Structure 1
Amino acid sequence: MASVIRRGTFMNKCPHHRPAPHQPSPAGPTPSSPPQSDFPLTHTGSGRIIPIMTFLPFRHISLTLTLAVIGGIVLPSRTHADDTERVRVLPEDTGAALVNPGMGWTLHYYSNVPTNYGSKLAPSDTIDFFPGLSTIYLRIPWCFLEPEEGRFNWALLDTPAQRWIDRGLRVAFRFTTSENWNRSGTPDWVVAAGAERVFYKFGEGPVPEGESPLWDPVFDDPVLIEKLDRFLEAAGRRYNGNPHVDFIDVGTFGMWGEGHTHMSSAVPESDLLRIQKLHIGLHLRHFPDTQLCISDDFVGHDRPGTDFPITEYALAHGVSLRDDSILVQPSPRQWYHAELAGHFWPTLPVILEHEHYGSSILRDAWKDGGQLLEAVEAYHASYLSIHWWPQEFYDKNKDLIQRINLRLGYRVLPTEITYPARIPIDSWFTVDWTWANRGVAPCLPGGFPAITVKDDQDGIVAVLVDENIDMARLQVAPPDQAPHSTHKSEFRIGHVAPTVQPGTYRVFISVGMRDGTPQIALPLSDGDGHHRYFIGDCQLY
């Protein structure tokens, strides 16, 4: 008895993968071995049939099927019951960076200041060199988006956004009302309409008018709230529930949208919670179908702890957390709220923003960058910022970026799959598969595994989905400790229709919607360009 073993790495690319003509194995049998044709075999992807004994030091192999080798194609013996003739697949992680829903690197195209950090990019430059980039982050003051009441400058957002949407990527937003590099983030016409404001010196607090050009709106002023509500209503019509929008920050309260005023207008502590809830509520009203998040500075920029009324309120309303920012200061003050993130990451995506890369280096907070990976682990981050000129950041941190990509967000893959080598048409058969999530965050979008059977013209013959297996339920763990989850699924091909002809077909695996539409990239080779991955052949009869 022997088994068909197919490794997860195939060199030949779909859609027309076929084994090359048989070549002799470079290693003959040892004196104690059975005859060569009786060895358990594996397909390496190069077309060679190699004794599986080569791999025994690394994998335990169960023997279940006698093989015949005919013209370079491995065929199962017909002497046993079909469901006992099993193909066993041991996929291997390719190490590739993944671009998936609800995770990835976010490029600060606008970082409050419109020239930071996308202004050096040509219109055609979508930084395709950066592995794992998924989201373009546009953080911009309200005053630039509505310079006149009711007249909007949406091109400021839509023009850069479409450059990446055309490439299949996504965007995220923050609209701010308070800036220290500009007189304000709030349009002047809001004040002209009667809204109150507070002048301040940055880092010192409120001052009389005339002593500083900088001003904050009174964040609960009725005129401000009315005008802001109308702006967010207009933004919501465009971006709420938009499939290209990953998340929107609640950014209309506090300096740079971070939810604090200790360096500007110094809102009294007694008013903070009420006003913060007011601004969260405005966003919930106009973006009910979009993931929202607040800065960790809503609780205080350096206030440690895990339980705060404002984060409890946010969590209760499905609003997630981002840290603005880590690595501003050297260790041990490199971040403050990893434990706070523990309330959010099991059910909501946590977003990490590091300090402007150049500033972090100048303060000696960056070091070798290793603490950025430590932060990804500590926060169980789904997203991580590129908070600098992207080419320079990439060039100086390539190895770090690669290591982060193996952990950032979720990293779902099958570690073992077995299925029948011969499958009777219109009869039940089983697939046994083991899954793991090697990322730091849960697969929050969820996804269901599917087997897709194709013919040699890449035509889809059968799509088989197990809706009882949701990747969102896979547990996460420290590196190299991801727990495995094993399942048995029952499927049937060709029941009623479509018509299925007997023959040899190719088997692909994917994760996605309940209807079998693939949505999640897996770290596997031999993809078909649609997130389906070739794992072997089967014979339908």
Structure 2
Amino acid sequence: MNGASSFRSFGLIFVLLPILVALSGCSADSTVESQETIATRETREAQDVTVQPEEDQTGVIRNPAMGWVLYADAFADFPQANAYWDSQDPYAGSASIFYIRLPWSQLEPTEGVYAWEYEQNFKDLIQGALDRGLKLAFRIYVDSEGSYQQATPGYVISAGAEGIVDANGRWNPYVDDSVFQEKFSSFLNAFASKYNDPAVVDFVDGNGLGRWGEGNQLKLLGDDVYGVLRWITGTYAANFTRVLLGVQYNKSSTGFGLDNMDAVALGEHGYVIRKDTLGLPYWFIEADKERIRSHFPGVPFYGENVYQYLQSRQRWADDYDTLYAALEAVLNDALSLHANTLDLRIPEDTEAWFSEAPDLVQEFIVRGGYRLIPAEITYPDRIGQGGALTIAHTWKNTGVGVLPNNKPQWNYKYKVAFALIDPATEQVVFSAVDGAAEPSDWIEGGQYSYTLKVFPDSVPAGSYKLGCAIIDSTMDNTPAINLAILNEKTNSGWYILGDILVK
């Protein structure tokens, strides 16, 4: 190497040496700072995190005791399962409940022989509803007026029950007859053994007497209407201890009377109110509506359109210029009465709602029933192992109806809960219920705030997800109510709110 080259090489080393030393020093300092940052992050005080979940403002929310209802309305004839579901399939995803209204004789043609065990078409119809995610509802009527067959089974007559033959030659029972009451009570006991299951059945009409099962034009041997009401409601209530019961809120002078229904069905047995005259301007007057509203929110309301066979019979044309105007009146009645449910009804009616008034269908989807939302949740981003976890949470209901958690058949089983969830397995490692938060109190327009303080002392150190849910306390605290929010959801139903560290 010549001198110039040696000098340039040595000079380069001389120039680079302090730079390398400086860089080395910077690197060492950066390492120290990074370690300090990590230490600070792990030891700093907890900071509050506030979450405001994004609302689902358009989607179908399927929940117990609410939503659009499809009907198998067996007054004209009992539908064939395959044809029925073929026609309802385009619309079934918008509904929550499948309501079956049929005569007692359809379910028990001979004593002890039940359709749910032996009649394939009935079983297929039921299974079709369950396969589509619909819950069941029932009305069983005993009076033959309007029915496609004698409503009370012949074996009841053979057993000695007294009754009357109508103009069509069909026998109808005196509903205060002791033999009739004994046989119908036995049937209800068998029926409830199959269907007193809230996982499958949403509600049962707990009356079924009189014309169309609505409790009017009662046929009696004597005059003890009040005694008949106490018998029928008490029998249903004794058998359906876990499923909601409804009563047709009929003001007819030939029925039970509204004061009696208030005292017995609503007061003693916790029935919900059902009404089938929505949209009828000259009969369903404002005073009737105000009486129903006076029970809200303690008693939910289930609505039913007064008009049926919308395309083939067009009875609505007597009262309205267009079908849309009739359906709009029905919807307005439902919303003003805080309706939890409303009927799409039989296939031709369902198709008419969707073809003539899809906007009205959508409006009840987003406003009917209850839509529960955790509007704001505040929690610490970390807690010490065994330390306190404090969660402030505010809820609202954007639907016109109410979650009827206060009914005796449910007995406040739905509860607000929070959970720490392992993000790798989605397993709940800790959960707690806030007993102060009562969903049946939440109505449209309100904000309901609570603070829960718990000590998850058995939770190992680590990073977790904080989840919330409304759980069913009778089903091992399983999440049971779909919330109207768009947050990520675990397979078991917990809505993810964010991250939390346990140290």
Q: TM-score, normalised by structure 1?
A: 0.72
Structure 1 counterpart of 2:388, from 428, 434, 437: 428
Stretches of structure 1 that go unaligned for 5 or more consecutive residues are 1-69, 202-211
Give the CA deviation at 1:321.
4.0
In structure 1, the residue corresponding to 2:209 is in which secondary structure?
A: coil
Does the 8 Å contact 2:85/2:128 carry over to 1? no
- Deviation track 1:339-385 (CA, whole Å, cap 9, x = no partner) reads 33245443343221112441453333561523333222332222222
Distance 2:42 2:426 in 1: 30
- Deviation track 1:328-347 (CA, whole Å, cap 9, x = no partner) reads 63367467633332454433
User: How many residues were matched structurally?
Assistant: 443
Is 1:274 the counterpart of 2:227? The answer is: yes
TM-aligned CA distance change 1:77 to 1:167, over 3 Å: farther
Stretches of structure 2 that go unaligned for 5 or more consecutive residues are 1-33, 406-411
Give the CA deviation at 1:476.
1.4
In structure 2, the residue corresponding to 1:347 is in which secondary structure?
A: coil
TM-aligned CA distance change 1:370 to 1:334, over 3 Å: farther
Does the 8 Å contact 2:379/2:390 carry over to 1? yes
Question: What residue is the counterpart of 2:113 in the other structure?
Answer: 151
- Deviation track 1:222-258 (CA, whole Å, cap 9, x = no partner) reads 3322322222222122223453122211343101101
TM-aligned CA distance change 1:283 to 1:433, over 3 Å: closer
TM-aligned CA distance change 1:488 to 1:218, over 3 Å: closer
Structure 2 counterpart of 1:176, from 141, 153, 159: 141
Does the 8 Å contact 2:70/2:97 carry over to 1? yes
Distance 2:298 2:399 in 1: 15
Question: What residue is the counterpart of 2:244 in the other structure?
Answer: 291
The alignment's C-alpha RMSD in Å is 3.4
Question: What residue is the counterpart of 2:156 in the other structure?
Answer: 190
Question: What residue is the counterpart of 2:267 in the other structure?
Answer: 316
Is 1:86 the counterpart of 2:44? The answer is: no
Q: One-letter code of the match for 1:460?
A: Q
- Deviation track 1:462-502 (CA, whole Å, cap 9, x = no partner) reads 3332323333253314xxxx211222222344x235x333x
Structure 1 counterpart of 2:342, from 365, 371, 384: 384
Is 1:325 the counterpart of 2:276? The answer is: yes
Distance 1:474 1:242 in 2: 21
What aligned pairs does 1:354-433 form with structure 2 within 5 A after superposition? 354-357=305-308, 358=310, 359=314, 361-365=316-320, 367=325, 369-389=327-347, 390-433=350-393
Question: What residue is the counterpart of 1:443 in the other structure?
Answer: 403
Question: What residue is the counterpart of 1:457 in the other structure?
Answer: 424
Which structure carries more helix by proportion?
2
Does the 8 Å contact 1:327/1:335 carry over to 2? no
Structure 1 counterpart of 2:485, from 518, 524, 535: 524
TM-aligned CA distance change 1:319 to 1:433, over 3 Å: closer
Q: Percent identity?
A: 25
Give the CA deviation at 1:455.
4.0
In structure 2, the residue corresponding to 1:341 is in which secondary structure?
A: helix
- Deviation track 1:24-77 (CA, whole Å, cap 9, x = no partner) reads xxxxxxxxxxxxxxxxxxxxxxxxxxxxxxxxxxxxxxxxxxxxxx9xxxx998
In structure 1, the residue corresponding to 2:453 is in which secondary structure?
A: strand
Distance 2:315 2:92 in 1: 21
Give the CA deviation at 1:523.
1.0
TM-aligned CA distance change 1:80 to 1:182, over 3 Å: same
TM-aligned CA distance change 1:473 to 1:234, over 3 Å: closer
Q: One-letter code of the match for 1:93?
A: E
TM-aligned CA distance change 1:513 to 1:149, over 3 Å: closer
Give the CA deviation at 1:420.
1.9
Is 1:112 the counterpart of 2:75? The answer is: yes
TM-aligned CA distance change 1:189 to 1:486, over 3 Å: closer
Distance 1:181 1:429 in 2: 60
Structure 2 counterpart of 1:165, from 130, 133, 140: 130
Q: TM-score, normalised by structure 2?
A: 0.77
TM-aligned CA distance change 1:388 to 1:531, over 3 Å: same
Does the 8 Å contact 2:376/2:395 carry over to 1? yes
Is 1:199 the counterpart of 2:165? The answer is: yes
TM-aligned CA distance change 1:420 to 1:360, over 3 Å: farther
Question: What residue is the counterpart of 1:127 in the other structure?
Answer: 89
Q: One-letter code of the match for 2:381?
A: A
In structure 2, the residue corresponding to 1:512 is in which secondary structure?
A: strand
Structure 1 counterpart of 2:454, from 473, 491, 499: 491
Distance 1:79 1:233 in 2: 62
Is 1:101 the counterpart of 2:25? The answer is: no
TM-aligned CA distance change 1:421 to 1:222, over 3 Å: closer
Distance 1:117 1:383 in 2: 25
Distance 1:76 1:181 in 2: 78
In structure 2, the residue corresponding to 1:120 is in which secondary structure?
A: helix
- Deviation track 1:395-417 (CA, whole Å, cap 9, x = no partner) reads 33321122112222222111111
- Deviation track 1:67-125 (CA, whole Å, cap 9, x = no partner) reads xxx9xxxx998499523x222212221112211122222211234344469673347x8
What aligned pairs does 1:502-513 form with structure 2 within 5 A after superposition? 503=463, 505-513=464-472
Does the 8 Å contact 2:73/2:100 carry over to 1? yes
Question: What residue is the counterpart of 2:31 in the other structure?
Answer: none
